Amino acid sequence: MASHAIDVQNAQENYLEVKGRWSGILSWIFSTDHKRIGILYLVSIAFFFIVAATIGIFMRLEQLTMGPTLMKPEVYNRLFTLHGVIMIFLFIIPGIPAILGNFFLPIQIGAKDVAFPRLNLLSWWLFMIGATLAILTLFLPGGLPDTGWTFYAPYSIRTGSEVSLAVFAAFILGFSSILTGLNFVTTVHRMRAPGMSFFRMPLFVWALYATAWIQILATPMVGITLLLIIVERLLNIGIFDPTQGGDPILYQHLFWIYSHPAVYIMILPGFGVISEIIPTFSRRTIFGYKLIAFSSLSIAIFGSLVWAHHMFVSGQSDLANIIFSFLTFFVAIPTAIKVFNWVATLYKGSIRFEPPLLFALSSIFLFSIGGFTGLMQATLPINVHIHDTYFVVGHFHYTMFGGTIWALIAGILYWFPKITGKMYNKKWIYGAWALMFIGFNTLYGAMMYMGWKGMPRRYYDHLPEFHTDHVIATVGSWFLYTGILVLVSTLIYALYRGAKADANPWGGTTLEWKTSSPPPLENFEKEPVVEHEPYYHEEAIR
């Protein structure tokens, strides 16, 4: 273990044992401790993930055969909407920042908590209220919305399904996201420990910082767009309704002004996690620290300027198409900078191959496939050909699932011993990885292939020529789902029966590894003083 790790074992009660004003479940749902709130998010978000993944399995089962076997077209429409809404708004946008960010951002900068602990708890409550409202649509007469997660006008204004409530739920979830972002920015500016200058911050913190800014700047835009859908449905204030002089294309613009930067809300924290894992398991400092830090910011900036590439076939002007296509290519540059720097960090490092590194490297691999196919779609002529096909579905699952969720899993595996004080069974994790990796590529690889051949997305049925591809994809989904269940069960088992973990099982160098596992209530025995850059390895462990 790193020699300068301060041994504070058993010196102070850890955050799981501390007795507060409340006990039992109340000690969690009313806790303002950022660590407990992080775990609240972990449990609730993991639940929604499993729900939405199960919906995905049912959609795949429908596609196993031709014709309406398992469900009718309307049901299929509602299911892919619900799958999208849950995965986007309830899982992947809050995902890494709310779980790992909440838990580790304060610890990594040497703070006791976030800047506004009560606001932090409010964010979680808003999140749960939003989630409840979204699920409530299931039991109302109109039923689940059938618009797709994008709620495009004018269909979202006309449909009889419960769009108003679902959209209001998304608005509340956006508010929760804004408050988390606001909290993180203020925390980074105000709560850093002595000596923790901006360029000594771990790269995970940098990524969260850039993400928090997108959350603050972009989310209100979708907020107002969604509010307008509600007033248009309830009060008939037509803003996007063509019969009242409105323009549905403007809805798409406003929607994507948020929702494209939102994909960087999803992926940037994942990059941050990878930037933590790579130096730890290579036993050397990160290559190109500043470039990685700034590339997060420049992804945030460029990513905000490319929204209309979702609208190449919407009928917007050719000039707009060309400009947005051109700008989209720019996003690849800071992203590639990160990937090259990670690879350069691994080069001649003293690599220790452990589950977190395995998942982090898989994440880079899968994201690269997603990224390159993204560039294909940024190319105007190709985009027209593959727009709204399974190619797009395959592409964004490679980026979002392959990039973000694999990074999230890598992060959970990396920090699991710190959060719980327990170590999991690594063999089972490797098994889960194999199932997931095979299943993932079979499922989404097949999707990309059939999309390239012309299979349109969001259809509940398919033509005979796509049948084999659909069968392959569905079989892949079973592998993937089984892998996820094995992973989750292994971690839950470790929670109860796992071996006790050290304060620093991986030889990490950032501040969270210099406190006990699990950390005490106020994170450190005494306020840490930072003297080195974050990935300073005093001695390489071989």
Q: What is the smallest separation between the CB atom of 24 and other proteins, expressed in angstroms?
A: 26
When the beta carbons of 388 and 527 are compared against other proteins, the nearer one is: 527
Q: What is the smallest separation between the CB atom of 186 and other proteins, expressed in angstroms?
A: 5
Q: Is 230 in the site for other proteins (CB under 8 A)?
A: no
Q: Is 530 in the site for other proteins (CB under 8 A)?
A: no
Q: Of the ranges 241-249, 375-383, 390-398, 418-426, which one interacts with other proteins (CB under 8 A)?
A: 241-249
The residues, any chain, with a CB within 8 Å of residue 240's CB and separated by 6 or more, are 153, 154, 157, 228, 229, 232, 246, 247, 248, 250, 251
Q: Of the ranges 84-92, 221-229, 356-364, 403-411, which one interacts with other proteins (CB under 8 A)?
A: 221-229
Query: Which 357-376 positions form the footprint of other proteins (CB under 8 A)?
Result: none
When the beta carbons of 220 and 431 are compared against other proteins, the nearer one is: 220
Q: What is the smallest separation between the CB atom of 235 and other proteins, expressed in angstroms?
A: 6
Query: Mask 80-119, x = binds other proteins (CB under 8 A)?
Result: --------------------------------x--xx--x
Q: Is 540 in the site for other proteins (CB under 8 A)?
A: no
Q: Is 121 in the site for other proteins (CB under 8 A)?
A: no
Angle at which helices 355-378 and 318-346 pack, to 10 degrees? 160
The residues, any chain, with a CB within 8 Å of residue 247's CB and separated by 6 or more, are 240
Q: Say how far apart CA 97 and CA 442 lie, in whole Å.
A: 29
Q: Of the ranges 42-50, 178-186, 355-363, 421-429, which one interacts with other proteins (CB under 8 A)?
A: 178-186
Q: Of the ranges 198-206, 219-227, 285-293, 351-359, which one interacts with other proteins (CB under 8 A)?
A: 219-227
Considering only 106, 223, 279, 417, the residue that binds other proteins (CB under 8 A) is 223
Q: What is the smallest separation between the CB atom of 209 and other proteins, expressed in angstroms?
A: 13
Q: Which two tokens stand for residue 254?
A: 């406003």
Q: Which two tokens stand for residue 530?
A: 């930072």
Query: Which 470-499 positions form the footprint of other proteins (CB under 8 A)?
Result: none
Q: Is 227 in the site for other proteins (CB under 8 A)?
A: yes
Q: Is 220 in the site for other proteins (CB under 8 A)?
A: yes
The residues, any chain, with a CB within 8 Å of residue 135's CB and separated by 6 or more, are none
H helical segments located in 191-239: 203-234
Let me know: does 332 contact 376? Beta carbons within 8 Å. no
Considering only 225, 373, 383, 404, the residue that binds other proteins (CB under 8 A) is 225
Query: Mask 19-38, x = binds other proteins (CB under 8 A)?
Result: --------------------
**511-515 own/partner pairs: CB under 8 Å, 24+ apart:** 511/107, 511/108, 511/109, 511/110, 511/193, 511/202, 512/104, 512/107, 512/108, 512/415, 512/418, 513/2, 513/5, 513/418, 514/4, 514/5, 514/6, 515/6, 515/8, 515/107
For 255-309, give the secondary structure using H, E and C: HHHHHHHHHHHHHHHHHHHHHHHHHHHHCCCCCCHHHHHHHHHHHHHHHCCCHHH
DSSP 8-state class, residue 69: S
Q: Is 233 in the site for other proteins (CB under 8 A)?
A: no
Considering only 4, 72, 158, 189, the residue that binds other proteins (CB under 8 A) is 189
**How many positions of this chain bind other proteins (CB under 8 A)?**
38
Q: Is 245 in the site for other proteins (CB under 8 A)?
A: yes
Considering only 136, 237, 313, 336, the residue that binds other proteins (CB under 8 A) is 237
Q: Is 210 in the site for other proteins (CB under 8 A)?
A: no
Let me know: does 411 contact 100? Beta carbons within 8 Å. yes
DSSP letters spanning 458-476:
T-S---GGGHHHHHHHHHH
Q: Of the ranges 243-251, 432-440, 442-450, 512-520, which one interacts with other proteins (CB under 8 A)?
A: 243-251
Q: Say how far apart CA 495 and CA 417 lie, in whole Å.
A: 9
Nearest to 421 by CA among 499, 354, 355, 491: 499
Let me know: does 471 contact 515? Beta carbons within 8 Å. no
Lookup result for tokens 């941050």: 272
When the beta carbons of 69 and 236 are compared against other proteins, the nearer one is: 236
Which residues of this protein are in contact with other proteins, per CB under 8 A?
Answer: 112, 115-116, 119, 178, 181-183, 185-186, 189-191, 216-221, 223-225, 227-228, 231, 235-239, 244-247, 250, 254, 257, 527
